[in-house]
Chain A
Amino acid sequence: MKFREIIESPCGVRYLFDELRLQSGFARKVLLDREMMTDAGQIDAAYASLREFVSLVEKDRRRVEDIRFRLQGLRDISGTLASLKDGAVLDEVEFFEIKHLAMLAESLGQGRDMDRVISILDPDGLKIGTFYLYDSYSGDLRRLRDAVEQDPEDEQLHEQLLNEEDRIKKEISSLLRPYAAVLQEVLMALAGLDISIAQALEIKDMDLTLPSSGQRTDIRGMFHPEVQASLRSRGLAFQPVDFDFDRGVPATVIGANMGGKTVALKTLCMVQYLYQFGFGVPAATATLVPFDDIRFCIGDEQDARAGLSSFAAEMQRIDRAIVAVEQGGRVLLLVDEPARTTNPVEGTALVAALLQRLAGKSELALVLTTHYTVAHEGQCWRVQGLVPGTKGRSMDYRLVKTASHEVPHEALNIARELGIDARWIELADTLMKQQYESE
């Protein structure tokens, strides 16, 4: 799975990508083409390297800005380097690109042998980043150029000059060829440098954390950066959420509508992706576990465009996730309010059955939000919910573990606090209790 494939995920990971202060279009491309890491050792190594950049950003901002300024000059010349490797004769534009890359790398202390590459393309030792076929490449070149300038109409001299230029291009190309591989490495290293610095700056800008790998997922003080930014612009604060789960133990999150269940699930998904692509994660602390496959099932606008009803799209999405679970491997499956658009009787049945269908899968971590009351063997979380005495205006978005799987009856509580017709509300309460007793 490449980063490019998850960028439009409804969890909102795109926001962190868009906010990255990358200096070159090439680094952007390299990042989008990065594969998701699934090995804890590899992820930890990536974070160890990123940690050094975070400390550089903290300690030497001036050096960071200097590097960033230089990285603006980074260009994707992999096409040129591939031709060089394949034995092609390069032209001035391509020599310029190579010289530019080598000088950039040298100024940033990256790559070996850059001085040798530069000396081939800077025969006069001018130490400037421009290029042309310098007169000093050969005595013949200088002589022929002078002659052509004296007699611009002489076709034969022109021909000789072009031949000499071609000979020199051939010679420079063969001198450079042994460095094709190391130049390609340097190119990728510079893109990596751009990405690491941008990630380190984002960690500081957004107050992200570097997670560690462990046996189970445990996130404290988790927040959704985009929702937080939007709340901040209206002078409001985002309430951080704690959450933990294990593989093999399904978890449900219950609570009233508008309780932040979906935002919590989106954040969970985003944190997981960011961890497996080596970004800082939006939390105070986080211990995470890598998965081979991450599945986020949530209704989105694409369904409507594809001409599917939201129910049909949702069912198909969950169906594909079940197939993925059956294929084995470590799967993180996040399902937002399955069957919410159906009637409560069928909806409750579908959710309860989904939990049973996926029970006993030791490699599966399942987190599911619902506002149906569904009993199961796993862990149940509840949105703390309405703050009593605020007439439904204030919500406590924290998640708490609960033994009861019954969805809190907050609608009636809000109605009571609002002073809605008492006989109506009490009648509703009585009817609800009767219904439960009959079941």
Chain B
Amino acid sequence: MPFTGEILKHRSVSIVGLSKNAGKTECLNYIIQRLPLDYFNVAVTSIGIDGETTDQVTGTAKPEITVREGMFYATSEKHFRQKRPLSELYDVSEEDTALGRVVTAKALQEGKVLLSGPSSATALKRWMQSVEGFGIDLILIDGALSRLSTASPAVSEAMVLSTGAAYSANIRELVNKTAFVVELIGLPSYVGPEPRLRVSSFSALDAGMLKGHPVVEVEGALTDRLLTAAKNALGEDELELVVGDFTKVFCSQDLYRAFLRRGGRISVRMKSHLLAVCVNPVAPNGIVLDSDILCRELSAKIGLPVYDIVKNDYEV
């Protein structure tokens, strides 16, 4: 298998889909099937309402997660009480989600479960701390749609990205949009003296405000508004924006490129570790992209291996 070895080097890995039906669940199941559980205690959970049997938006069937014997998993009370393999209960959290409290259990046999773990990145972080006593070596996190925050290096050490026809039906556009996310994930760590100016998207931004500051710390999100102001301040002076991590960058690709073209730089406080990119060439509306072309073009663009897990059932 191409990247399980890499996964096992980390204590927490999030699997993040760039859109619904981007193949994230297949990707997670694929990883789970290939982990050497004889040597590792693995726990799997998700963030928020995910793991519904049918996709709530498009109504297409959504595969459940298959847990293997001996694996820990965390899900809501509601989903725990539904069909599941025989499981030994280890913990019931105090925190309530829309689907009840979060239950942590160990599967005593292989079986399918619906995952609906802690409801926010902070709750997820707390859950990860609460299970520290169970001797878990690796936590896999199913990051839900628009919950890119799970992939924040503040939550999980490393990530696997899944993208596909559901994100964009045009190969060129899909490659372009995915490559942009990969580029953001790869933003370098900030090295240098402490920035003397801190701004947030709520700051009043005067034209002259950034003048004389070669490095500016961005608190919270880097928005189009902030980046426009930064771009306009770029002249003969240098400017480097420092953000928390890539999940805080919320700006359009055009603006981002324009900023870089003018000589601006963006770096992060905490760098993310991208382990692999997986693609799903099938979209829920029936569009099927050519998997080989997609993998080849995306790989060439981002300089990383790209896998179509469904088509190529890679060797275990």
Q: How far is the CB of A292 from chain B (nearest CB, A)?
A: 36
- Residues 119-151 of A at the B interface (beta carbon under 8 Å): 130-133, 145, 149
* Residues on the B chain within 8 Å of A130, using CB: 88-90, 106
* Residues on the A chain within 8 Å of B146, using CB: none
Decide if B89 touches A93 in the complex (CB within 8 Å). yes
Decide if B89 touches A96 in the complex (CB within 8 Å). yes
* Residues on the A chain within 8 Å of B80, using CB: 93
Q: Mark B60-94, 1 if CB is under 8 A from A, else 0.
A: 00000000000000000100110000111110101
| Interface SS of chain B | strand
Query: Which interface residue of B81, B89, B109 has the most chain A CB atoms within 10 A?
Result: B89
Instruction: Tell me the number of A-to-B contacts counted with CB atoms below 8 Å.
Output: 31
Q: Check A75/B81 contact, CB under 8 A, given A132-B86, A132-B87, A145-B86.
A: no
Residue of A nearest to B101 (CB): A93
Tell me whether B108 is interfacial, beta carbon within 8 Å: yes
* Residues on the B chain within 8 Å of A132, using CB: 86-89, 108
Tell me whether A97 is interfacial, beta carbon within 8 Å: yes
Decide if B103 touches A149 in the complex (CB within 8 Å). no
User: How many of A's residues come within 8 Å of B, CB to CB?
Assistant: 16
Q: Mark A96-107, 1 if CB is under 8 A from B, else 0.
A: 110010000000
* Residues on the A chain within 8 Å of B108, using CB: 132
Query: Which interface residue of A26, A91, A96, A97 has the most chain B CB atoms within 10 A?
Result: A96
Q: Give the complex CA separation of A26 and B106 in angstroms.
A: 26
| Interface SS of chain A | helix
Q: How far is the CB of A79 from chain B (nearest CB, A)?
A: 11
Q: How far is the CB of A28 from chain B (nearest CB, A)?
A: 11
User: How many of B's residues come within 8 Å of A, CB to CB?
Assistant: 14
Q: Give the complex CA separation of A132 and B86 in angstroms.
A: 8
Q: Give the complex CA separation of A133 and B92 in angstroms.
A: 16
Q: How far is the CB of B89 from chain A (nearest CB, A)?
A: 4
* Residues on the B chain within 8 Å of A75, using CB: 92, 94
Residue of A nearest to B87 (CB): A132
Decide if B88 touches A131 in the complex (CB within 8 Å). yes
* Residues on the B chain within 8 Å of A92, using CB: 89
Decide if B86 touches A93 in the complex (CB within 8 Å). no
Tell me whether A25 is interfacial, beta carbon within 8 Å: yes
Q: Give the complex CA separation of A380 and B92 in angstroms.
A: 59
Decide if B81 touches A149 in the complex (CB within 8 Å). no
Q: Mark A20-46, 1 if CB is under 8 A from B, else 0.
A: 000001100000000000000000000
Q: Give the complex CA separation of A145 and B81 in angstroms.
A: 18
Decide if B109 touches A149 in the complex (CB within 8 Å). yes
- Residues 71-129 of B at the A interface (beta carbon under 8 Å): 77, 80-81, 86-90, 92, 94, 103, 106, 108-109
Q: How far is the CB of A147 from chain B (nearest CB, A)?
A: 13
Q: Give the complex CA separation of A145 and B109 in angstroms.
A: 11
Q: Give the complex CA separation of A130 and B81 in angstroms.
A: 17
Decide if B86 touches A131 in the complex (CB within 8 Å). no
Closest 3 CB pairs of A and B: A96-B89, A132-B88, A131-B89
Q: Beyond the given A91-B81, A100-B92, could you list 18 further A-B residue pairs with CB under 8 A, ordered by the A residue number? A: A75-B92, A75-B94, A92-B89, A93-B77, A93-B89, A93-B92, A96-B89, A96-B92, A130-B89, A130-B90, A130-B106, A131-B88, A132-B86, A132-B87, A132-B88, A132-B108, A145-B86, A149-B109
